[in-house]
Copies of this chain bind each other. A is one copy, B any other.
Amino acid sequence: MIASQAELTQQLLNSGLWISSKVNGVFGWGQGFETVISALDSRITQFSEADAATSINFPPILDRSILTRTGYLHSFPELCGSVHSFCGSEHEHQALLTAVEGDADWSPHVKQTDVALTPAVCYPLYPTLSGTLPEDGVLYSLSSYVFRHEPSLDPARLQAFRMRENVRLGNQAQVVAWRQLWMDRALSLLTSLELDVELDIATDPFFGRGGKMMKANQKQDEGKFEILCPITSAEEPTAIASFNYHQSKFSSVFEILLADGELAHSACIGFGLERCALALFSTHGMALETWPAAVRQELGL
């Protein structure tokens, strides 16, 4: 009874919840959809506030050197978005316009800028933390649009989407316990929304042959868990939240130290807000007013 990718997309467009564009994985979002996104965001914020986490909203672009320093181009080169602009003279402008009018590649006429699209919400945070952390480490509640270059017909695979993250830096025991706390919180929240969710160990989509070894290592280290929910397939449920333990990967790059001088450990937990909302619409239908009363109440709708 689960709608296919094409059927779900059509239902979203027909009901005005989504607005189409000519590019796969790029949509506008109507008021009903945004109401659910805001409600989910507020529920997650309640947990962040219980942690007394510091709240930051980042723009959709970041300092490009963060991608190179963290090895993003090594692990996920095909997902990155590098931003290029025209920086030339009036004469060079004519050459750009000739390319544009001939529907040719602009690449020879634009230059790489200092910014790239944000690939995950916690990337711009780490460089701001270089130095020594307070005794009990730090907690952050973050939000941003993120970009993944993976154009797809799957409505749950957008090129630009909102990620709601929480991040913890501290010692290993603090960080691992905090990730477990958020797995419990997320399962509890999503179950209360009457979603058919399950927690599973997972891996990131590391690129190429070398990526296979990185996936194996990540699995062995229990570096990543995901909460999965059927959106357009019962057999291949979609990850709607992830729980990632980085050991000292980011702290070693940006020299983030604990009070005792050791490298900090870090973990981030992220909710894909559009995917969580899609799980709700797919499960409970396109009309908010017909959703189960308990779900509406839990979301404050």
Residues on A lying within 8 angstroms of B by beta carbon are: 19-23, 26-31, 34, 54-65, 68, 73-74, 77-88, 90, 93, 96-97, 100-101, 103, 105-107, 110-115, 117, 124-125, 127-128, 145, 147, 149, 151, 158-161, 207-209
Does A93 lie within 8 Å of B207, measured CB to CB? yes
Contacts of A34 in B (CB 8 A): 55, 57
Does A160 lie within 8 Å of B110, measured CB to CB? no
Q: In this complex, what residue of B is CB-closest to A30?
A: B56
Q: For the complex, would chain A's binding face be called helix, strand, loop or mixed by DSSP majority?
A: mixed
Does A31 lie within 8 Å of B55, measured CB to CB? yes
Does A61 lie within 8 Å of B160, measured CB to CB? yes
Does B78 lie within 8 Å of A87, measured CB to CB? yes
Does B26 lie within 8 Å of A127, measured CB to CB? no
Q: In this complex, what residue of B is CB-closest to A31?
A: B55
Does B96 lie within 8 Å of A85, measured CB to CB? no
Report the bound CA distance from A73 to B30 in whole Å.
Answer: 29
Contacts of A68 in B (CB 8 A): 100-101, 103
Report the bound CA distance from A103 to B67 in whole Å.
Answer: 12
Does B28 lie within 8 Å of A145, measured CB to CB? no
